[in-house]
């Protein structure tokens, strides 16, 4: 098929009417497959006027994304990959600006200070928040100078000085109580500068929490080629993802919000039960399949789920974590976990196990350890979670581990033979977990399996095959 440029396939609405009322920090793949995709569908209904998104990148890698998208009028494809191989594509035109720090600092400041800007969203990854991984407390030394939270506090100070209303700050990162964590991060940075500003923020800025969901792998040349070959579109940075998408948001937007309920976003009074289900049963189970899949030498998540013992292990993991979740009307906890595993099994999505375990020390405490702590408080054993941690320990011995704590974890994993449980005693990652003798015993058992017979032996012990 001869490919035509994406600019020859524009959205069916007038992008000029979108303007710019929404700023997004962290313009990665997920943002484009999720928040921008939802707004695009709202724009098609003619209900997004004034809410165009200005993307802001704070990392050098964002400049390449900006350059590629700028060459195609900031349009991008979102391509849904159905299990039967079908592809559905739309051109997303919701992003009306793309700025990158540090070069565009003045433009970013003025965008954030503009009265038209009423909503700021974040997908800056779990590690992008200056809070302790295990307690969630603000840690001043983790706040990157000139980073996300300095920028937000500067912007709020500008708005206060100009007598403007603030914007609402909505975190879309996978973190328990992400609104509370965003608030703590902003207030922590503000308090270190000016108590009056911190008070003003406390009294005036809303930080709703949200649960976000759509499995969105990284884009490589393979995805670009797929879009060119199968759909006939030349797109310099398409995003491929699963067909499923969900966004549940705490409805606190004193400065207004787009009417996203028209395109399926659910606005609720309390997002916590939905968020807990998602983080513990989807992201937690993702950690399980990611660490096991890496040790099994597999590349994609669906390959791992196709291994019958891995699927059974994941089912066991879900059953172990499920009792820690609140009974929630309309939510079948075990069914939710089962449907997550079905989504992982989609052979078309081509998500990699490596993506899931990157920066695991930012993810495991948020996705796995909460359920472990709740189970232990209730006196329940945690053989499946302990097995996931043992897989992580084993994998930490490798040289190619991308993780802020890679060296510390490697050293601890190396000491395991002499000091059993040393890995779990890396306090910055595991908090007090290493003091729990029951968990340490289960972890040791799993580690012995891995050392003696690899992941197959561990799987054989914990599943019936």
Ligand X SMILES: O=P(O)(O)OC[C@@H](O)[C@@H](O)[C@H](O)[C@H](O)CO
Ligand Y SMILES: NC(=O)c1ccc[n+]([C@@H]2O[C@H](COP(=O)([O-])OP(=O)(O)OC[C@H]3O[C@@H](n4cnc5c(N)ncnc54)[C@H](O)[C@@H]3O)[C@@H](O)[C@H]2O)c1
Question: In this complex, which beta carbon is closest to ligand X, that of residue 117 or of residue 283?
Answer: 283
User: What is the contact surface with ligand X in residues (CB under 6 A)?
Assistant: 126, 174, 213-215, 282-283, 286, 356, 363
Minimum Å distance from CB 252 to ligand X? 22
Minimum Å distance from CB 361 to ligand X? 11
Which residues 148-207 are close enough to bind ligand Y by CB under 6 A?
A: 148, 173-174
Minimum Å distance from CB 363 to ligand Y? 8
Task: Check residue 212 for interaction with ligand Y (CB under 6 A).
Answer: yes
Stretch that binds ligand Y, among 212-220, 322-330, 391-399, 414-422 (CB under 6 A): 212-220
Q: Which residues sit opposite 328 in a β-bridge? A: 331
Could you tell which of ligand Y, ligand X, none binds residue 26, using a CB distance below 5 to 8 A set by kind? Answer: ligand Y
Minimum Å distance from CB 22 to ligand X? 21
Say if residues 75 and 36 touch (Cβ distance below 8 Å).
Answer: no
Among 21, 27, 93, 290, binds ligand Y (CB under 6 A): 27
CA gap 135, 140 in Å, rounded: 14
Could you tell which of ligand X, ligand Y, none binds residue 338, using a CB distance below 5 to 8 A set by kind? Answer: none
CA gap 63, 56 in Å, rounded: 10
SS3 content of the chain, % helix, strand, coil (to 5): 50, 15, 35
CA dihedral sign, ordered 453, 458, 461, 465: negative
Minimum Å distance from CB 286 to ligand Y? 9
- The token duo for 115 is 């009265």
Minimum Å distance from CB 30 to ligand X? 7
211 Cβ contact list (under 8 Å, min separation 6): 246, 247, 248, 249, 271, 274, 275, 278
Stretch that binds ligand Y, among 95-103, 125-133, 299-307, 372-380 (CB under 6 A): 125-133
Say if residues 246 and 214 touch (Cβ distance below 8 Å).
Answer: yes
Applying CB under 6 A, what is the total number of residues that bind ligand Y?
Answer: 25
Burial class (CB in 10 A: 0-12, 13-18, 19+), 237: buried
Task: Check residue 343 for interaction with ligand Y (CB under 6 A).
Answer: no
State how beta strands 76-81 and 87-92 pair: antiparallel
Task: Check residue 265 for interaction with ligand Y (CB under 6 A).
Answer: no
Question: In this complex, which beta carbon is closest to ligand X, that of residue 65 or of residue 197?
Answer: 65
Could you tell which of ligand X, ligand Y, none binds residue 208, using a CB distance below 5 to 8 A set by kind? Answer: none
Minimum Å distance from CB 351 to ligand Y? 7
**Three-state SS for 238?**
coil
CA dihedral sign, ordered 191, 193, 197, 201: negative
Stretch that binds ligand Y, among 85-93, 214-222, 259-267, 287-295 (CB under 6 A): 214-222
Q: Is the peptide bond before 102 cis (omega within 30 degrees of 0)?
A: yes
- The token duo for 201 is 């923020």
CA gap 272, 209 in Å, rounded: 8
Minimum Å distance from CB 123 to ligand X? 9
Could you tell which of ligand Y, ligand X, none binds residue 283, using a CB distance below 5 to 8 A set by kind? Answer: ligand X
Among 80, 89, 92, 88, residue whose Cα is nearest residue 43: 92
Could you tell which of ligand Y, ligand X, none binds residue 57, using a CB distance below 5 to 8 A set by kind? Answer: ligand Y
Question: In this complex, which beta carbon is closest to ligand X, that of residue 174 or of residue 324?
Answer: 174
Which residue sits closest to ligand Y, CB atoms considered? 28
Task: Check residue 147 for interaction with ligand Y (CB under 6 A).
Answer: yes
- The token duo for 12 is 């069916």
- Angle CA 305–307–308, to nearest 5: 100
Strand locations in 82-234 (E) = 87-92, 95-100, 119-122, 168-171, 210-213, 233-234
Task: Check residue 365 for interaction with ligand Y (CB under 6 A).
Answer: no
Question: In this complex, which beta carbon is closest to ligand X, that of residue 114 or of residue 126?
Answer: 126
Minimum Å distance from CB 210 to ligand Y? 10
User: CB count, 10 Å around CB of 428?
Assistant: 14
Task: Check residue 57 for interaction with ligand Y (CB under 6 A).
Answer: yes
- Angle CA 35–26–257, to nearest 5: 40
Stretch that binds ligand Y, among 24-32, 325-333, 379-387, 416-424 (CB under 6 A): 24-32
Minimum Å distance from CB 359 to ligand Y? 8
Question: In this complex, which beta carbon is closest to ligand X, that of residue 126 or of residue 302?
Answer: 126
Minimum Å distance from CB 30 to ligand Y? 3
Stretch that binds ligand Y, among 73-81, 188-196, 211-219, 336-344 (CB under 6 A): 211-219
Among 256, 151, 257, 167, residue whose Cα is nearest residue 207: 167
Place of tokens 């920066």: 359
Binding site for ligand Y (CB under 6 A): 26-31, 57-59, 61-62, 123-128, 147-148, 173-174, 212, 214-216
């Amino acid at each position: 098929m001869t490919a035509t440029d994406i600019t020859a396939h524009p959205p069916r609405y007038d992008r000029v009417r979108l303007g710019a009322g929404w700023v997004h920090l962290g313009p990665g793949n997920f943002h484009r497959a999720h928040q921008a995709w939802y707004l695009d569908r709202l724009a098609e209904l003619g209900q997004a006027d004034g809410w165009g998104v200005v993307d802001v990148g704070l990392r050098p890698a964002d400049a390449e994304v900006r350059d590629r998208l700028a060459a195609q009028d900031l349009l991008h494809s979102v391509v849904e990959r159905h299990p039967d191989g079908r592809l559905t594509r739309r051109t997303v035109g919701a992003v009306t600006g793309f700025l990158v720090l540090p070069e565009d600092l003045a433009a970013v400041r003025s965008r954030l200070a503009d009265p038209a800007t009423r909503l700021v969203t974040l997908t800056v990854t779990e590690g992008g928040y200056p809070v302790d991984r295990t307690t969630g407390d603000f840690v001043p030394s983790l706040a990157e100078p000139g980073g996300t939270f300095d920028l937000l506090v500067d912007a709020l100070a500008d708005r206060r000085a100009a007598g403007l209303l603030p914007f609402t700050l909505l975190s879309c990162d996978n973190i328990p109580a992400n609104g509370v964590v965003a608030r703590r991060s902003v207030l922590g940075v503000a308090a270190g500068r000016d108590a009056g500003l911190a008070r003003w923020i406390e009294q005036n800025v809303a930080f709703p929490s949200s649960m976000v969901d759509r499995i969105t792998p990284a884009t490589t040349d393979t995805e670009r080629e797929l879009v060119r070959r199968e759909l006939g579109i030349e797109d310099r940075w398409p995003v491929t993802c699963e067909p499923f998408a969900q966004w549940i948001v705490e409805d606190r937007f004193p400065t207004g919000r787009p009417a996203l309920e028209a395109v399926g976003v659910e606005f609720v009074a309390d997002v916590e039960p939905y968020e807990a289900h998602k983080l513990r049963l989807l992201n937690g189970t993702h950690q399980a399949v990611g660490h096991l899949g890496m040790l099994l030498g597999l590349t994609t998540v669906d390959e791992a789920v196709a291994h019958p013992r891995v699927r059974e292990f994941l089912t066991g993991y879900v059953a172990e974590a499920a009792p820690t979740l609140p009974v929630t009307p309309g939510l079948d906890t075990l069914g939710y976990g089962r449907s997550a595993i079905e989504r992982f099994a989609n052979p078309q999505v081509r998500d990699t196990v490596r993506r899931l375990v990157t920066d695991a020390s930012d993810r495991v405490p948020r996705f796995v350890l909460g359920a472990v702590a709740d189970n232990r408080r209730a006196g329940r054993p945690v053989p499946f979670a302990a097995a996931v941690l043992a897989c992580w320990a084993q994998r930490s011995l490798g040289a190619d581990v991308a993780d802020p704590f890679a060296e510390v974890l490697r050293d601890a994993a190396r000491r395991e033979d002499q000091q059993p449980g040393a890995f779990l005693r890396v306090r910055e990652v595991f908090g007090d977990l290493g003091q729990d003798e029951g968990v340490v015993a289960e972890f040791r058992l799993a580690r012995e399996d891995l050392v003696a017979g690899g992941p197959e032996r561990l799987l054989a012990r914990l599943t019936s095959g």
